[in-house]
Amino acid sequence: MKANPITLTYTKNYVDRSREELLEAVRQVMSSKRFTHVRGVEQAALELADRYGADLEMVSIAALLHDYAKEQSDEEMRDMIISENMDLELLQYGNNIWHGPVAAVMAKERFNVEQTSILDAIRHHTVGSVNMDLVEQIIYLADFIEPNRSFKGVDKARALAENSLEEATAFATLLTIKHLIDKKVKIYPKAIETYNAWVVQ
Ligand SMILES: [Fe+2]
Ligand SMILES: [Fe+2]
């Protein structure tokens, strides 16, 4: 991982402010630990974007906003799931599953993000989806392998990501599902769909 500070200037109007202003807005809604994670996700995502030829600005914006809703109250998130006509099955789950789709709505409403790849990358970053495009895969994976992460398997995921985004995405999905099974927690059906699409040969 490169330690260089990121010098990226937004020029494409995918978001209604500069990267520095976006960073500050994100910093204000989360703990410093989570903000460090978010910056790590941006770093990892930009490295993957560089390697695989994705749009750096899209990737940066999606990375910075991916956990924007993580510290919202459950009540606010429930209200948004209902008012935005999201999948009502979501209500049977919790913050872990909600914060992606809720952050996608907030990215649009508060930061005027309209670009579908950015919004879908935010929306799907925890659960994945059957048809993740390049930006979605990069954010899904960067969230998993960012430099502050340490868990069994993260090094293998990082190594796979050097050579194949698809293989790394499949590996991250398999590990996530295994972890949920080990914990005997309810699995959101869209996570199973991601598993079926990416892991099963
Ligand atoms: Fe997240
Ligand atoms: Fe995250």
DSSP-derived secondary structure for 35-62? HHHHHHHHHHHHHHHHHHT--HHHHHHH
The distance of Cα 168 from the centroid of its chain, to the nearest Å, equals 15
* Predicted pLDDT of residue 3: 54
Q: 68 CA to middle of ligand 1, Å?
A: 8
Q: 142 CA to middle of ligand 2, Å?
A: 8
Q: 13 CA to middle of ligand 2, Å?
A: 24
Q: 24 CA to middle of ligand 2, Å?
A: 17
pTM of the predicted model, to two decimals? 0.96
* Predicted pLDDT of residue 97: 96
Q: 192 CA to middle of ligand 2, Å?
A: 20
Splitting the chain (201 residues) into consecutive groups of 10 residues, what average pLDDT does each group show?
A: 74 97 98 98 98 98 98 96 94 96 97 98 98 98 97 96 97 97 96 97 80
Q: Which ligand is nearest to the CA of 38?
A: 2
Q: Which ligand is nearest to the CA of 146?
A: 2
* Predicted pLDDT of residue 79: 96
CB neighbour list of residue 45: distance below 8 Å, 6 or more residues apart: 59, 60, 62, 63, 138, 139, 142
First to last CA, the chain: 31
Q: 164 CA to middle of ligand 1, Å?
A: 23
Instruction: Considering only the C-alpha atoms of the chain, give the largest distance between any 2 of them, rounded to a whole number of Å.
Output: 46
CA Rg value for the chain: 16
Q: 53 CA to middle of ligand 1, Å?
A: 24
* Predicted pLDDT of residue 170: 97
* Predicted pLDDT of residue 201: 80
